[in-house]
Structures are given as C-alpha cells and as structure tokens.
Amino acid sequence: MAGVVELDRLKRLKDTVAVIGVGETDYREDYRAGARGNATEKGSGTLNSYQLAAKALKRALDDAGIDKSAIDGLVVGGPMSTERTCEVLGINASWCVSGDAPRGIIAAVQAINAGLCHTVALVYGNAQRSMDTAYGGPRVTDAGILSYVYYAPWGMTSQGGLYSMMFRRHQLQYGTTEEQLGAVAVAFRKHASMNPNAVMYGKPITIEDYMESRYISAPFHLFDYCLINDGGVAFIIQRADMAKDGKNLPINVSGIGWSELDVDSTQLRPRLKDFYKPAHHAVREQLYPMADVTQKDVDVYATYDSFSTHLLFSLEGFGFCGDGEGGAFIQDGRIEIGGEIPCNTSGGMLSESYMQSWNHQPELIRQLRHSYEGTERQVQGAQVGQYVHDVAGKCLSVIYTRGDR
C-alpha cells in the first residue's frame, strides 16, 4: 500500500513543469582554449567556470525568449558556489541549491510545485581542462567518494579502475566481450561526427580502431574513457501553465525517479554483486508508471557515460534487455540514430563534451523539439526521451515528453 501511495504522489507532479530554453558553450573552441591552461576565477587567456556558465545561460535565455529578470530559482552545478554564481549572474533568487543536473531537475520540480519559484535556471560551468583537474591518481585522495580513498593503496583511485573491474565481472559472468563493448564508443563517436559542436566532430572510429587502442585500465581501452574539456551548459525550467505561452514548444518533465545503493558501497559490493541493478529497478518502478510510458515508448535515450560500460549496465537494469544480454543488444546499429533505441545522440561525454550529465539534457530537449529535422541527426518522430544518471550507485532518471500548446 505504501508504494501505491508514493506513486500517486509522484503522479501529481507529472507534466507540471517544462523545459523552455537550453544553451551550451562552444565545446570545440573551449577544448582548444583549455589546452593553453591557467584558468582561474579572474581568467587568464580562457574562460573560467563562472564565465562559461554565464555564456551558456545567456544562450538559454535567448533560446527561451525571456529576460534574466524572469528567473526566480537557480540550480548551480560543477565546481561553482551558489553565492558566487548568483553574484556573477546578477540574480537574487528566491530559491537556490547546488547539485548535478538530474538532482537539480528533481529539486526544481519540487520547488516549483511548492510555490517557492516558477522559473528555474540550471547552470553549470567547468574549466576542468584548463585547471588540470585530476579525476584519478594521488591528487584525489581527499575525494568525496570514499572508495577512491580506501582502494588508493592498490592504485584504484578513480572510477575508471572501478568500472573496468565491474565490466570484468560482467565478462566472467555473462561472456561479454571487449569487442561488444566497443560498439558503444563507435556509436557515440559516429553521433559526435554529425555534431559540429562536439569535441570529436569529424573524427569517426571503427571497431578495429577501438580494439587496437591501448588499454588504460584493462579491459578498458582508451575509447572507453570520456573527454576532459572546458564548457558550460544551462537550461530553463518553468511552471507548465506559463511555459505554454512561451517562445518554444514546451518539453514536459513527465517522470522522475531516484534510488541509491550506499550500504557497502565502500566495499564495492553494489558494483560487483549486482551492477547497481537494484537501484535501476527501484527507479524504473517510480519513473515509467509516473510518466505513463514503458521502455518501448522511449524514442531517444541518454545515459551518463564517463565510461562506455554505463550504457551496458543501465540498458539491462532498466529492462531494455535482459541481464547479461547488454553486449549482444548494443550490436548491429541498434543504439545508433536510425536504430531501435538511439543512445547519446550528441556523442555524449565520450565524444561530445564531458559536462558531468549536463550536456545530455539540451540534446534530449532538441531531439524532442525536432530541432534537427531534415538532417541525419534527428531521431524521426521523437516524442519521449529518457536520461539515466548512474554514478557510484546513485541512480536518478528523468523522462521528457514532447508537449503541446
């Protein structure tokens, strides 16, 4: 009975807010500028995190056709502080929090429904390449994810080592091959090659390129790892009744879900025992009934992809294929645009831009708006998009649907 009650409460939030504007910085230019280094808050030859976020927000406001004065809520992501971000942007929000993109979306839905605000800007900027940010090695011994710290004496200081071990377990249990996993990197690079804003635009790879690339943390090859680049992303969420009168076709937030596997996480048990699937299952039991859709209704799919294996685990966990079937499922173009379930259609974090979940949101919105109509990038007739955020056992997901006037 408790589950029924909770689902009923979630359903009350369905389609109560919509995305009205999106904006990103110029990732290819940001990547080249970042190589020169020395980005600070004051700036030194390139944009810092706050400037990148401000640039993205300006583009999102222009896209939405609204003025900055309309913003009364703010979600701040990346290495930025809420206080400094509000100061730089010149916004005194009535509601303001920090977090990653899916947490920010869920928080914004809650805040808008509680009456704390009506128009929320979600902004992210990260000059990580310029600042030589370390996501592995001896400089991350103070990381918030304690498994980094506990396994550091054995060289396991980053997610790369931990996820490669997860994939090795998948290989041993189900017979999944490196060549099968390589389909993810090849497909996402193909999508990036269609995207002029992608860092890896015009640089397709073959499965032979993948197999011949060097190991970083075996069985992970070079192409299983995401990019490290500077950039900024922003999108704007508004109360649905207001969004219908806006410049763009509103894209509704129709489903949300959240579940975490934190018990025993520092001992790696949720990773190696279940591939985080109990969290996937809990989220899908919230998400799909709330949005009144099933997996078969999802036209375009995006997943956090700091490593290629995220897609493999999430497709199994969310029921697009059975346990152990992910390696075979992602073959033969099934995850490419034009395939059965197009995934990370901008190139994702592997090949477009490493924006830590943020760049997936504008891409889904544009696909559902049919912004690429007439080009090879458009997922034809896309009505439903799903984003899955699966990081260190913390699983969140959002369903977007194409709205109406």
The answer to whether position 322 is within a domain reads yes
The answer to whether position 185 is within a domain reads no
Average pLDDT over residues 355-374: 97
CB distance 82 to 96 below 8 Å: yes
Average pLDDT over residues 223-237: 97
User: Nearest CA to 377 among 204, 192, 202, 194?
Assistant: 194
The answer to whether position 220 is within a domain reads no
**374 CB-contact burial (10 Å; exposed 0-12 / middle 13-18 / buried 19+):** exposed
- The range of the structural domain enclosing residue 270 comes to 2-132+227-399
* pTM, to two decimals: 0.95
- Predicted confidence (pLDDT) at residue 213 exceeds the cutoff of 80: yes
Which tens digits make up the pLDDT trace of 235-270?
999 999 999 999 999 999 999 999 999 998 888 888
Pairing between β-strand 384-391 and β-strand 300-303 as defined by DSSP bridges? parallel
Dihedral, CA atoms, 302, 305, 310, 316, nearest 10 degrees?
Answer: 10
178 vs 35, higher pLDDT? 178
Mean pLDDT over all residues of the chain?
Answer: 93
Q: What percent of the chain has pLDDT over 70?
A: 94
The answer to whether position 147 is within a domain reads no
Place of tokens 């279940």: 274
Please give the pLDDT value at position 144. Answer: 65
CATH number at residue 109: 3.40.47.10
The answer to whether position 330 is within a domain reads yes
- Predicted confidence (pLDDT) at residue 405 exceeds the cutoff of 70: no
Which tens digits make up the pLDDT trace of 64-100?
999 999 999 999 998 999 999 999 999 999 999 999 9
The residues, ordered by sequence, that sit 6+ positions from 405 with a Cβ below 8 Å of its Cβ are 244, 249
- Domain count within the chain: 1
Which tens digits make up the pLDDT trace of 99-155?
999 999 999 999 999 999 999 999 999 999 998 887 877 766 555 667 767 787 777
- Residue 23 parent element (H or E): strand 17-24
Which tens digits make up the pLDDT trace of 142-201?
556 677 677 877 778 888 988 999 999 999 999 999 999 999 999 999 999 999 999 999
A 10 A CB-CB count for 167 gives: 24
